[in-house]
Amino acid sequence: MTILLQVTGLTKQFAEKVVVDGIEFSLEKNTSTALIGPNGAGKTTTLSMLTGLLKPTSGSVKMLDGDVRANIGFLPQYPQFHPWLSALEFTEMAAKLNGVPAKKAKVEAQKTLEFVGLGNDLNKKISTFSGGMRQRLGISQAIVHKPKLLLLDEPVSALDPVGRREVLDLLKGLQQETTILYSTHILNDAEEMTDQLLFLRDGKLVEQGTLREVRQRFDEQNYVVEFSTEKEAKLFASQSGLIGEAKGSHVYIEIIDEKPSMQELLQHLSSCPYKIRKVERQTASLEEIFMKVARKI
Amino acid sequence: MRGFNVLLQKEFREAWRSWKFLWIPLVFALLGMTDPLTNYYMMDILNAVGNVPEGFEMLMPELMPVDLLQASIGQFQTIGLLVLMATFVGAISKERASGMATLLYIRPISFGAYFMSKFIVMSAVGFVSILAGFAASIYYTVVLYGTLEIGPLVASFFTYFSWLLFVIAVTLMMSATFKTVVATTCAFAVIFIGQILDSLVGAFWTISPWKLPLYGVQLMRGTMEMSDYWWSLSLTLVVSIICMSIGILTMKKNASMTKI
């Protein structure tokens, strides 16, 4: 895999407050990366530094094949447009400013707007647009010039469930040919389209890796066995010879280095006289990992 | 000047669609026709109001056509400029504050091109405005008072336009440098307090941008000391160019102030 963007020691300090603190990561070509973190973690500040709008206090952002500004598309969290222009005019202008030749720009703008679902609103004034339409227009101005890197700040947070679904599908369609970095605090979205996770907290990058890696690191792996009564659960926990802890009618059995295996557990259970309701291996959702990372000291 | 044509088109569209090319010239036209009309009909107006005492004789000054143009320019200098500056002082700062600038600043545009596209569209609005103002003033002056010589008139018009370019350059520079409120204060201070100072203690110097509108009128009267005129005109253009350069630099420097 080739690396597209290399970020080293990126730091931003406003007056006394360090908002982004020496973060380092790289983005591989044609992968999607989610920048996750609680509010105020420094996600937007990081993205603004990547776009070049904000000068870092120290550190660098390097695009490995060329200038950053010429090769990115950016969607701010609340994109603001010039209300006097129509969707087509705005997208066409965006394309031209990024160096798409004038003749091609209009065709590309039209195609892009159709792709994001604004094909019927090409010539409507932006001032008449709804929130969902603005978000789509925001995406179209970010992708019309086919940038190598697409930066999205909370692309779906402001949308209703239907709009979210549609925008996520749009972005998935782009995944094959574009490198995407997006910030979000909606973890289901991150779970859905992510090759790499970057956890930001208090301006520091506290976790990074693929969803799988992060999961392994943070997952308390457990078997959960549910019995029909609390008493049975207690009895099983004390008698079975497995290290288990009873909570209510559940017994939690910790997995350490894949021990005990599911087979071993089932053997224990098959000889057990109590009524068993459910057996499962528990994996933490991204949300639980998020909570753990957010609280980790 | 990357993206200049595209940005110019965008600025022009915005000014056109927000009716700036219509209503600002209308304001100037109204201002322009006020003085010739009110002065000419002053006696009638007073009689119609009906409070003139019996046997009252008032000596009306004998007005030359050029006096009326000077009065009209006086109107442009206060109300006209106020309207023009108030309309344009947010051109850059408001775009930053609202976040509309963000989607442009992230692209590989040149800030010089963006600044100049705004400057040119504003100058065009200014040009049409004073054209309407001069036309209205001159039309009624010619109808009611008498003719003006065309050569000096054109010279006077372009002299006033040079002053207007200076006003626009100052306004845009302030807009690029400060937030809207501060920019408004500073731009008004430079233009209006500048005018007051220049009329109060301006007798001590003869070369100054603030004197340019008056010099335009003196061109028509034929009483202009030409070396003062040329020096003032040159100084105005030089200061305008300096203001524009500062504006471009601060616009670039303040790009990160845009709301994201």
The pLDDT tens digits for B179-194 are 999 999 999 999 999 9
pLDDT above 60 (res A216): yes
Confidence of residue A5 (pLDDT cuts 50, 70, 90): very high
Among B18, B104, B256, the residue with its CB nearest the CB of A97 is B104
Q: What percent of chain B has pLDDT over 90?
A: 83
Contact B14 A82 (CB under 8 A): yes
pLDDT at A249: 85
Token match 């309309």: residue?
Answer: B87
Contact A72 B18 (CB under 8 A): no
Low-confidence ranges of chain B (pLDDT < 70): 1
Q: Which residue of chain A comes nearest to B104, CA vs CA? A: A94
CB contact, 8 Å: B260 with chain A? Answer: yes
B109 CB neighbours in chain A (<8 A) are 97
Q: Which residue of chain B comes nearest to A83, CA vs CA? A: B14
The dihedral of CA B14, B1, A80, B252: what is its sign?
Answer: negative
pLDDT above 80 (res A18): yes
Which of residues 5 through 34 in chain B touch A, CB cutoff 8 A? 6-7, 9-10, 13-14, 17-18
pLDDT above 70 (res A32): yes
Q: Letter for the amino acid at B131?
A: L
pLDDT above 80 (res A206): yes
pLDDT above 60 (res A294): yes
Contact B108 A69 (CB under 8 A): yes
Confidence of residue A150 (pLDDT cuts 50, 70, 90): very high
pLDDT above 80 (res A156): yes
Residue B97 distance to chain A (closest CA, Å): 10
Residue B27 distance to chain A (closest CA, Å): 23
When computed from its CA atoms, the radius of gyration of chain B, rounded to whole angstroms, is 21
pLDDT at B112: 96
Contact A82 B6 (CB under 8 A): no
A296 token code pair: 């980790």
Using H for helix, E for strand and C for coil, what is the string for chain B? CCCHHHHHHHHHHHHHHCCHHHHHHHHHHHHHHHHHHHHHCHHHHHHHHCCCCCCCCCCCCCCCHHHHHHHHHHHHHHHHHHHHHHHHCCCCHHHHHHCCCHHHHCCCCCHHHHHHHHHHHHHHHHHHHHHHHHHHHHHHHHHHCCCCCHHHHHHHHHHHHHHHHHHHHHHHHHHHHCCHHHHHHHHHHHHHHHHHHHHHHHHHCCCCHHHHHHHHHHHHHCCCCHHHHHHHHHHHHHHHHHHHHHHHHHHHHHHHHCCC
Chain B interface, best mutation among A91, A97, A134, by max B CB count within 10 A: A97
Confidence of residue A221 (pLDDT cuts 50, 70, 90): confident
The residues facing A74 across adjacent strands are A151
Among A52, A81, A84, the residue with its CB nearest the CB of B103 is A81
* C-beta separation of A227 from A205 below 8 A: no
* C-beta separation of A137 from A81 below 8 A: yes
Q: Which residue has the higher pLDDT, B231 or A286?
A: B231
Q: Which residue of chain A comes nearest to B96, CA vs CA? A: A80
Q: Which residues contact A34 (CB under 8 A, 6 or more apart)?
A: A182, A183, A184, A189, A190, A193, A194, A196, A197, A198
Whole-angstrom distance, CA of residue B157 vs CA of residue B162? 9
pLDDT tens track for A223-240: 888 888 888 888 888 877
Among B6, B14, B255, the residue with its CB nearest the CB of A97 is B6
pLDDT at A208: 87
Strand A179-184, strand A32-36: pairing: parallel
pTM for the predicted model, two decimal places = 0.87
Residue A278 distance to chain B (closest CA, Å): 49
Span A16-34, mean pLDDT?
91
pLDDT at B243: 98
Contact B107 A69 (CB under 8 A): yes
Mean pLDDT, chain A, whole residue set: 87
A vs B, Cβ pairs < 8 A, gives: 72
Count of positions (residues) in chain A: 297
* C-beta separation of A48 from A41 below 8 A: no
Among A55, A74, A78, the residue with its CB nearest the CB of B106 is A74
pLDDT at A220: 66
* Listed residue (B37, B40, B14) closest to B122, CA to CA: B14
Q: What is the DSSP string of A80-100?
A: ---TTSBHHHHHHHHHHHTT-
* C-beta separation of A190 from A219 below 8 A: no
List own/partner pairs for A111-120 with CB under 8 A and 24 or more apart: A112/A140, A112/A143, A112/A144, A113/A87, A113/A88, A113/A137, A113/A140, A115/A140, A115/A170, A115/A173, A116/A140, A116/A170, A117/A166, A117/A170, A118/A87
B171 token code pair: 């306004």
Chain B interface, best mutation among A14, A20, A53, by max B CB count within 10 A: A53
Kindly list the residues of chain A whose beta carbon comes within 8 Å of any beta carbon in chain B.
44, 47-48, 51-55, 67, 69-70, 72, 74, 76-82, 84-85, 89, 93-94, 96-99, 141, 153
pLDDT at B229: 95
Q: Letter for the amino acid at A103?
A: K
The dihedral of CA B24, B30, B31, B33: what is its sign?
Answer: positive
pLDDT tens track for A243-275: 778 888 888 887 777 778 888 888 888 888 888
pLDDT at A219: 66
Span A48-64, mean pLDDT?
91
Whole-angstrom distance, CA of residue A68 vs CA of residue A92? 21
* C-beta separation of A239 from A227 below 8 A: no
Q: Which residues contact A157 (CB under 8 A, 6 or more apart)?
A: A77, A184, A185, A186
Q: What percent of chain A has pLDDT over 90?
A: 41
